[in-house]
Amino acid sequence: MKRSYFSAPYAVWMVVFTIFPIVFVGLYAITTRRADGNDLYTGLANIGNIFGNEGTYMKVLWRSLSLALQCTAICLLLGYPCAYFLASKDFAKHKTLYVLILLPMWMNFLLRTYASMGLLERNGVINSIVTALGFKRLELIGTQGAVLYGMVYNYLPFMILPIHTVLKKMDQRVIEAAQDLGANPVRVFYKVTLPLSIPGIISGITMVFMPSVTTFAISGLLGSGNFMLIGDVIETQFMSANNWNFGSALSLFMTVLILISIGLLNRMDKSKTGNGGGKW
């Protein structure tokens, strides 16, 4: 029996649950539903509607991209030092911290978001502490900051884990060689550790940015509907407006944007890893 036969179940799974849905989304995206209930093929009319409506959808898109970029940047700033300490042999509590990072991921995504609501709501934990100290209650829930906090809280582990994996597998002899050649710890980090960890950084950015730009549960719960993102618009088109054609067009448009982003990140990864660390 050929070894390729063992991949048949995976191939069937990919065709049924990946290829077919994408094909159906593409077909819905290039059709529009008439008043009589029949579908009429209209080319890129639904895609054109994304740029119409006085720029409403584009404003939502830019807001989604902005929050996703902010979330990705914050996760990188918080996640890289955490991954660095986790991979360090000198850090004695790395196993405990690793478990604490993984523990929230064992819970359901919505449960974590509801837990965040318990912290941020008007009578929540944070406001209880604030009022106990004699200060005025803070309006945390229903703000853009609350949505950003929820995104960072939910997606931070997806930045830490790939960077930690790359740092953990890094050949320590390269770092020792740099130190033997007279490089101080700061120079070793910027010339050796950071360039070699770029594949993990690229993977982390991809794993955080993609779900962040299309999220809708976080903005709906923590934003109280005040900050609609592109994921909310897509969800509304399918669940409330019953306009699967335009919802599919939005989904297809976001898929293309994400694929372009991944392509750019991959090219950046290749160019960085191909240049080497330079002189010490």
Backbone torsions φ then ψ of 183, nearest 5 degrees: -80, 135
Residue 99's pLDDT is: 84
CB atoms within 10 A of CB 65: 17
Local confidence band at 161 (pLDDT 50, 70, 90 cut-offs): very high
Q: What is the pLDDT of residue 145?
A: 92
Residue 277 scores a pLDDT above 50:
no
**Cα–Cα distance measured from residue 70 to residue 179, given in angstroms and rounded to the nearest whole number:** 35
Query: Rounded to an integer, what distance in angstroms lies between the CA atom of residue 47 and that of residue 245?
Result: 10
CB 256 within 8 A of CB 269: no
% of the chain at pLDDT higher than 90: 34
pLDDT digits (tens, 9 = 90+) for 147-157: 999 999 999 99
Q: What is the pLDDT of residues 245-271, one digit of tens each?
A: 899 999 999 988 888 888 888 777 766
Q: What is the pLDDT of residues 19-74, one digit of tens each?
A: 999 999 998 888 886 656 566 666 677 888 888 777 788 999 999 999 999 999 99
Summarised one tens digit per residue, pLDDT across range 83-92 is: 998 888 776 6
pLDDT (0 to 100) of residue 158: 94
Query: At which residue do the structure tokens 């299309």 appear?
Result: 214
Do the Cβ atoms of 171 and 35 come closer than 8 Å?
Answer: no
Domains of the chain: 55-275 (1.10.3720.10)
Q: What is the DSSP string of 1-25?
A: --GGGGGHHHHHHHIIIIIHHHHHH
Residue carrying structure tokens 């618009």:
233
* 41: three-class secondary structure by DSSP: strand
Would you state the pLDDT for residue 37? 57
